[in-house]
Amino acid sequence: MTQRAWAAAMWLLCASSLVAQTRNPLEGVWRISEVVTPAGNPAAKGVEVWTKDRQLPSVVIFTRRYFSRLEENRSRSAVAPPKDPQNLTDSEKLASYEQWRPFTAQSGTYDLQGSTLSLHVIVAKNVSPKPVSRAWELKFEGPDAFWMIPTPDRAATEPRMKLTRLE
């Protein structure tokens, strides 16, 4: 093997190991598999609620810089299509609202600094009067599961979520 070929092979070996070492542990497709709702959350009615093996559909995608989260917060039922989509009746509006109310959708960018994840929402189902950014503490349980834990200022009211890798 020539000296150039040897140098090229060593460079490729080193470069590939550097790329493998810097891979972001969040990158991939996840589902929300467990939720712990603290007693201070109005939906919990004063009792901590633990939902293991959560069966409601969810998909959370992290790329190198962006995230997208779609989730049903409780079961939803189908509604009949409106008779005239351009002129909904009050009952059709209410039925549509009730169908979409328990649904979360948001996408944006994120930063990962050590074990702190900061989500910066660009677009969401619910419009906010100001840009939304939220920080979470991450606790990994191997390469295929991690917990998103609200920061101390939100821990009494916001749920902790366990995400499990789908891909």
Q: What is the pLDDT along the chain (167 residues), one digit of tens a residue?
A: 565 544 444 445 444 444 455 679 999 999 999 999 999 998 888 888 888 888 899 999 999 999 999 999 888 778 889 999 999 999 999 988 888 888 899 999 999 999 999 999 999 998 777 667 899 999 999 999 999 999 999 999 999 999 999 99
Greatest alpha-carbon pair distance for the chain in Å reads 80
Nearest one of 68, 26, 32, 38 to 161, comparing CA atoms: 32
Residue 141 · residue 115 · CB < 8 Å: no
Domains of the chain: 27-165 (2.40.128.280)
Could you tell me the sign of the dihedral formed by the alpha carbons of 164, 26, 131, 45, in that order? positive
* CA 155 to mean position of chain CA atoms: 17
Beta-bridged to residue 123, according to DSSP, are 107
**Angstrom distances, CA of residue 90 to CA of 34, 76, 81, 83:** 36, 20, 14, 12
How many CB atoms are located within 10 Å of the residue 134 CB? 16
**E strands within the chain?**
28-37, 49-51, 58-62, 66-72, 103-113, 116-124, 133-140, 145-150, 160-165
The reported pLDDT for the residue numbered 21 is 53
C-alpha–C-alpha distance, residues 44 and 72, integer Å: 17
Block residue for tokens 């962006």: 66
